[in-house]
Amino acid sequence: MHQDLDEVPLNRHERRRLEALERKSEKDDRRKFGWRVVEWSVAVGCSRSLTYELIAQKRIASVKLGHARVITTHPQDFLDTLADEDAK
């Protein structure tokens, strides 16, 4: 269905951001209010293209800051809504 994140090519900036994300602890994550697309995609376990589709479908909230897209929906909140939809 979707590419594995290990197969998605990342540029050096995305790789650095991903490495920084992996170094962060789980308890710091709940204090975060915005994620770049690659960070959010890794946290949820989906591809960047799917993340952009979710933005277009208005299933996740995001804002544009200059040239950067920042997702404001917490990854865990999104996964919780998927679990709720699955349970119905």
**Any idea where the domains of the chain sit in the sequence?**
32-88
> pLDDT 10s per residue in the chain (88 long)?
444 555 666 788 777 877 776 766 455 556 789 999 999 999 999 999 999 999 999 999 999 999 999 999 999 999 999 888 877 7
Nearest to 53 by CA among 74, 37, 70, 72: 37
Q: Which fold has domain 32-88?
A: Arc Repressor Mutant, subunit A (1.10.10)
Kindly report the number of other CB atoms within 10 A of residue 35's CB atom: 25
Residue-level pLDDT at 2: 46
Question: What is the SS3 assignment for 81?
Answer: helix
Tokens linked to 79: 């996964």
